[in-house]
Each structure stands twice: as structure tokens, then as C-alpha cells.
Amino acid sequence: MTDAHRDGMSQGDRVVDALRVYSADYSELTHYLARWLGVHSADATAFSEIVYAQESAEPLSPIKLSKRIGLTSGATTSLLNRLEDAGLIVRSREHSDRRMVTLRSTPDVGRDAAAVFDPVAERIDAMMQEYSPEFLQEVESLLDHLHTVIGGAIQNLQSKAPKSAQRGG
């Protein structure tokens, strides 16, 4: 974004524009991951969600993944089949309720992905250290509020959309 472009924008518009730029950067990383894995970008998005959840010690189930990436359960099953066939993930039954499925990256691919993306995470972590915890709390609060507002707008759109345009419709 150029300074001239930015000068004509309100602060709120500049923040939204910066979020748009960040989103585009994140999408570019996802496209890189897709090329690196040899899969479609939607599959790479799902794979990155699986790895992130696994590294956060909160592995995903197919249902949770479906909600995170906005696909129907059937589309998510097809996507998981592709990732499993490509040797990128495994589905395991780790819970006492054997009906529950946990998604995990395969060990080799997980290590390779970490080698590629850990440097990105390290740069982000270093950048975050430049800001006070109070400031980061404000940013976190803003992003949480944006998530709530956008989620409400999506629900409103879904309630007004024709059945054929609704997710799973």
C-alpha cells in the first residue's frame, strides 16, 4: 500500500486494508504450501489447519476441520481422502469413544513442513516481541470482535440466501 493511497483513508479503513494485505500474504503462503505438497490450495489449507491444531496439542476431528475450513462434511471427507491417499495425514482413533477420529499429519511430512514453516513462525514470534503484552491484548480483542461481527454477517447472509446457495444446500 502506498502512502498516497493510505493518506486518503480513515484509520479504520487502513486497519481493514492492512488485514486484507495480511490475508493475501497468508493465502500466498498457503499456495506455496500447496505447490510444495503437490495438492490443491484447499487441501493445503486443511493440511495446515491439521498441523496447527496438532502442534497446539488440540488435534482436530473431521467435524472440527469441516467447521474451520467451511466445507460440508461430504466435501471434507473427500478432501481428507485425498490428503490420506497422498500420504500427508492419518486418521486415528485415540479416544475412549472409538467412534471419534483424530486427524494428524504423517511424521515425515510434519517434520518437512516444520522445516519449511518454522522460520516463518520464528520471524512472526520475533516481530511480536516488539510489542507490549497490553498492545497485543488490544489487537487480539479487535480481531476477536471482527470475527464475531463477520460471523454474524455470514449468518445473516445465510438466513436470507436461497436454499441452493446455503452451505450444504
CATH class of 8-106: mainly alpha
Q: What is the mean pLDDT of residues 74-102?
A: 90
Tell which phi-psi region holds residue 70, choosing left (phi > 0), alpha (psi between -120 and 50) or beta. left
* Predicted pLDDT of residue 158: 85
Confidence class for position 4, pLDDT limits 50, 70, 90 = low
Q: What is the mean pLDDT of residues 100-120?
A: 86
Cα separation values, 6 from 19, 116, 143, Å: 14, 33, 21
Residue 103 has pLDDT above 70, yes or no: yes
